[in-house]
Amino acid sequence: MFNTKSHTANQSKVNHTKYTRRYRPCHPLAQYAVNQIEALKLCSQDIVKAMGYPLKHTIPACDRLRHVLSNKHLGLDGSYIDKYFTADDFLAKLFVVLEIPYAPFAEDIEQIKYKLAHAPNPLPQYNLRADVDFHFTSGANWMSRAAASRFAQVHLPRGFATLDEAERESIVQEGICEHYQQYEGHLPYDGIIKGYRLTTEQNNTVVDRVTYGLPKSSGV
């Protein structure tokens, strides 16, 4: 197995600038990637564009990039997903963009996946978001788009995965109602809420998606 920790330690120390200050690497391989980002002077928007994400998905793609490089499992625990890349494909494509050879680190990645798969009673990951149509104007910069996108997230309490199905359903329904009422059905940039979606992922695999309509009391 390639000695990731040794290789990372042998890299020259870098002073993190605007390119890397938002990353908080918790794994030696993530630190290696962050050092490479600094060396190549790549901002997150440039990275996700080179990875092939469409322009309209830049903000959530940047969020995923920051999450992966700040997650102790490199996102292989399924803690952040989208429709464009699986956890494995995301890392592989990121390595290509950062000019990092994948093969020397393949065993390290497999080791992370093995530990996750054989962890005692691995809990599923849940993500609840509003399904929103945004209408961004040409003057909306990436920070504004990011802020608007985050408003679509519906908070789920800590320990949600340990609850029984009836309790989870009750919390989901309550969260949807509160979120819809809070924003009165509209997010910034003419973001019209069309419904909600609960995604369940376990062992880096999406195992369920449930679509919810608008609250009955919404009046629409």
* Cα 6 to Cα 45: distance, rounded to the nearest angstrom: 30
6 DSSP 8-state letter: H
**Residue 154, pLDDT score:** 92
- The CA distances from residue 52 to 2, 20, 42, 205, in Å, are 28, 21, 15, 22
Burial per residue of 174-204, b for 16 or more beta-carbon CB atoms within 10 angstroms, e otherwise: ebbeebbeebebebebebebeebbbbbbbbb
CA dihedral 94→99→104→110, nearest 10 degrees, is 0
The mean pLDDT values, 10 residues at a time, for the chain of 220 residues are: 48 65 91 94 96 92 93 86 88 95 91 84 85 69 69 88 91 94 79 90 82 75
d(C-alpha 67, C-alpha 25), whole Å: 9
Three-state secondary structure along 71-120? Answer: CCCCCCCCCCCCCCCCHHHHHHHHHHHCCCCCHHHHHHHHHHHHHHHCCC
The per-residue pLDDT for 220 is 43
Residue with tokens 């609250």: 215
Q: How much is the pLDDT for 129?
A: 92
Element (H, E) at 65: helix 58-70
22-53, pLDDT tens digit by residue? 899 989 999 999 999 999 999 999 999 999 99
pLDDT score for 12: 46
Residue that is written with structure tokens 């509209």 in the block? 186
